[in-house]
Amino acid sequence: MAIYQKGVIFADFDTADKDCWTLDSYVKRGGYQALKKILNDNIAQDQVIAEVKQSGLRGRGGAGFPTGLKWSFMPRALDGQKYIVCNSDEGEPGTFKDKDIMEFNPHSLIEGMIIAGYAIGASVGYNYIHGEIYEVYERFEEALNEARRAGYLGNNILGTNFSFELHAHHGYGAYICGEETALLDSLEGKKGQPRFKPPFPASFGLYGQPTTINNTESLAAIPFIIRDGGQIFQDKGIPNNGGTKLFSISGHVNRPGNYEIPLGTPFSELLKMAGGMRDGRKMKAVIPGGSSAPVLPGDIMMQCTMDYDSIAKAGSMLGSGAVIVMGEDVCMVKALERLAFFYHEESCGQCTPCREGTGWLYEIIHRIEHGHGKHEDLDLLDSIGNQMAGRTICALADAAVFPVRSFTKHFRNEFEYHIQHKKCMVNHNWL
Amino acid sequence: MLSQDALKKIDQELTKYPDNQRRSAVMSALRIAQVEHGWLSNELIEYIANYLKIPPVQALEVATFYSMYNLKPVGKYKLTVCTNLPCALSGGVNALEYLKAKLGVELGETTKDGKYTLTQGECMGACGDAPVILVNNHKMCSFMDPATIDKKLAELQ
């Protein structure tokens, strides 16, 4: 179940309607009008890209890179196959928005991908779907079949000379495949291990061909941007942070779920929408952008607005928009131990600093949590972090180090207490 | 080693990729094979590789890299509980502990009657529905408090 404010992707329909995902329902609420507008009016590729640039849309997968600019990197004049790939391998702890887009509004993504394919000169697209959501993958396949039957996919779409085919690819359990080049290798049927960049996917992507990779939420916003105009999307947010965004709230709130709200909305309002703190707890800390984003103390978070710039200024990242809220009864050592375990499990093993480093981080935090910590351990964590961050092919090592640095910085007293007294400072239980 | 139905499904997957990129279908082919056999033996992995006309080691490295492939036999129902931080804050760890006690097994173990295997998962991308339990990789069950777990177990025959 999901709860939404009216936004761009979840406008004009109720997710409780069991048919809301169908082509019929999508077309009734204005779906595929953007595609028709482009094809019927013969709008130039550059103009489509300009509209997306105008919207201020920034990549919703976590990096926040301007989508229109990314599209303009594609060497359209070059002959040969090009690809558009959607990254729906949503595995960043705390994030569950792309799943809801594909479950309740899959055609917004399909239409967004067709338009992206048109704009960048790709005739084939793939949507790489997270392994653990098989039922959503099946739903997406059904939606693809509907779109094919209606002539939105395939040869000569809507009677024009534009052809585009789109396929779903199902992952099978690897966090690292959310990294775009690991995802490409996985799509090629290999272990999902990140590639060294450069070359970037726009010049050497899937099967060595020029490829653009966008997040599900970014692509699903495209139909609105083309249909209603980039400026209207931009104006929904604030300068440099255009549009609305889905925030996935989890943890100690009364109503966890997805909320699509304008960028720049105060965090306090988002918290209110989520029903406030569960069981009257006081807020201790918030991870504002998925588990890889640095944790912020609750009082700092309450001063923030939900946009890229405000969260960055506070010392963290908006990331994928996954907001993990922790109450006063959470032991921060225990919370960090769980995250460190995750990164150790999910390191792909390719780079030594990450493969070994994530193991050491987990071991040390584990021993602090279990009463065997040593006084020099906090310095040791810091030193290991320095040997990992920025020294690997992809950002997983950095993602493992960020939580360690921020937890031990903001909640150092809890770590020191743990080492000295060999027990938690707070009476922790996981409920 | 696989039914006609399973081979048909693999053929369908192959149509998604360029003719010279049959390797791309290995993930789905292994998934389809696992659904039919419950787990992936070396023989089955080699069979898939031969069917796709790729070297067996390429299928093996995929089977060993991704966490949802079963490389040894599992019970009739594999239960995977998410215990990552967001789920843990909403009862994920409790769901796991409840299942351990109820089934009398530890993580990675199968009940003596061969019915259940209990495992722990990493993020399933459904943190708002915690606690979340995945049954045989493909069926997601949400809001699994003890009473709902009891109900679910009674359904799994």
Question: Does residue B31 sit at the A interface (CB-CB below 8 Å)?
Answer: yes
pLDDT per position as a tens digit, A145-166: 999 999 999 999 999 999 999 9
Structure token pair of residue B48: 């898939």
Is a pLDDT exceeding 50 seen at residue A119? Answer: yes
Whether B130 and B116 have beta carbons less than 8 Å apart is answered as: no
Output the average pLDDT for chain A: 96
Q: How distant is the Cα of B18 from the closest Cα of chain A, in angstroms?
A: 10
Mutation pick from A169, A430, A431 vs chain B, by most beta carbons of B within 10 Å, is A430
Q: Residue B90: list chain A partners with CB under 8 A.
A: 250-251, 256
pLDDT > 60? residue A430: yes
> Looking at the predicted structure, is the pLDDT value of residue B29 above 70?
yes
Question: What is this structure's pTM?
Answer: 0.97
Q: Which of residues 290-329 of A touch B (CB under 8 A)?
A: 291, 322, 324-326
A426 pLDDT tier (thresholds 50, 70, 90): confident
- Average pLDDT of the residues in B42-68: 98
Of A4, A329, A173, the C-alpha closest to B89 is: A329
- Decide if A178 touches B, using CB distance below 8 A: no
Whether pLDDT at A2 is above 60? no
Residue of A288, A267, A362 whose CA lies nearest to A92: A288
Neighbours of B119 (CB within 10 A): 17
A100 pLDDT tier (thresholds 50, 70, 90): very high
Q: How far is A229 from chain B (nearest CA, A)?
A: 31
Does A87 score more than 80 pLDDT?
yes
| pLDDT above 60 (res A128) | yes
Confidence of residue A196 (pLDDT cuts 50, 70, 90): very high
- By the 8 A CB rule, do A153 and A144 touch? yes
The pair of three-digit structure tokens given for residue A340, joined into one six-digit string: 């460190």
pLDDT value for A31: 97
Number of C-beta neighbours around residue B37 at 10 A: 16
B125/A250 touch (CB, cutoff 8 Å), yes or no: no
Q: Is the pLDDT of residue A5 over 70?
A: no
- ipTM higher than the 0.85 cut: yes
Q: pLDDT tens digits, residue range A321-339?
A: 999 999 999 999 999 999 9
Please name the residue of chain B whose CA is at the shortest distance from the CA of residue A252: B89
A349 vs B: CB within 8 A: no
How many angstroms separate the CA of residue A188 from the nearest CA in chain B? 4
Interchain pair B31, A324: CB under 8 A: no
Mean pLDDT of B95-107: 97
Q: Does residue A284 belong to the interface with chain B, where contact is any CB pair within 8 Å?
A: no
Name chain B contacts of A256, Cβ cutoff 8 Å: 90, 127-130
pLDDT tens per residue across span A16-73: 999 999 999 999 999 999 999 999 999 999 999 999 999 999 999 988 999 999 999 9
Contact A207 B18 (CB under 8 A): yes
Q: Which residue from B minimizes the CA distance to A258? A: B128
- Which candidate from B85, B122, B134 shows the least CB-CB separation from A175? B122
Q: What is the pLDDT of residues A177-193, one digit of tens each?
A: 999 999 999 999 999 99
Q: Which of residues 111-170 of A touch B (CB under 8 A)?
A: 126, 130-135, 167-170
Beta bridge partners of A157: none
pLDDT score of A4 more than 70: no
Among residues A68, A76, A184, which one has the least CA distance to residue A126?
A184
B54 contacts on A by Cβ (under 8 Å): 189
Q: What is the C-alpha separation between A304 and A285, in angstroms, rounded?
A: 13
A354 touches chain B (CB under 8 A): no
pLDDT tens for A339-357 read 999 999 999 999 999 999 9
B residues 69..88 contacting A (CB < 8 A): 69, 83-88
A249 touches B at CB < 8 Å? yes
Tell me if B113 sits within 8 A of B121, measured CB to CB. no
Query: Could you please report the per-residue DSSP string of A103-153?
Result: HH-HHHHHHHHHHHHHHHT-SEEEEEE-TT-HHHHHHHHHHHHHHHHTTSS
> Residue A370 has what pLDDT?
95
B41: Cβ–Cβ under 8 A, 6 or more apart, which residues? none
Cβ neighbours of residue A7 under 8 Å, at least 6 residues apart? A244, A246, A260, A261
pLDDT at A1 over 60: no
**Nearest-by-Cβ selection for B68 from A172, A291, A326:** A172
DSSP letters for A77-109: TS-S--EEEEEE---STT--HHHHHHHH-HHHH
Question: pLDDT category, A11, cuts 50, 70, 90?
Answer: confident
Q: Name the minimum distance, in Å, from the CA of B139 to any CA of chain A.
A: 7
> How far is B107 from A208, CA to CA, in rounded Å?
41
Q: What is the mean pLDDT of residues A306-316?
A: 96
Q: Where are the beta strands (DSSP E) in B38-123?
A: 77-82, 116-121
Q: Which residue of B has its CA nearest to A89?
A: B125
In angstroms, the CA B37 to CA A28 distance is: 43
Cβ pair B83:A169 closer than 8 A: no
B67 interfacial to chain A (CB closer than 8 Å): yes
Q: Which amino acid is at B46?
A: E
**Chain centre to alpha carbon of residue A197:** 21
Query: What is the pLDDT, as a whole number, of residue A12?
Result: 83
Q: Which strand (E) or helix (H) includes residue A382?
A: helix A377-388
* Average confidence score pLDDT of chain B: 97
Contact A211, A201 (CB under 8 A): yes
Binary contact (A170, B58; C-beta < 8 A): no
What's the pLDDT at A3?
A: 64
CA–CA separation, B79 vs B135, rounded Å? Answer: 5
Q: Which residue of A has its CA nearest to B135?
A: A132
Classify burial at B46, counting beta carbons within 10 Å of its beta carbon; exposed 0-12, middle 13-18, buried 19 or more.
middle
Q: How far apart are CA A252 and CA A244, in angstroms?
A: 24
Instruction: Indicate the residue type of A15.
Output: T
* Alpha-carbon distance B134 to nearest alpha carbon in chain A (angstroms): 8
3-state secondary structure of B149: helix
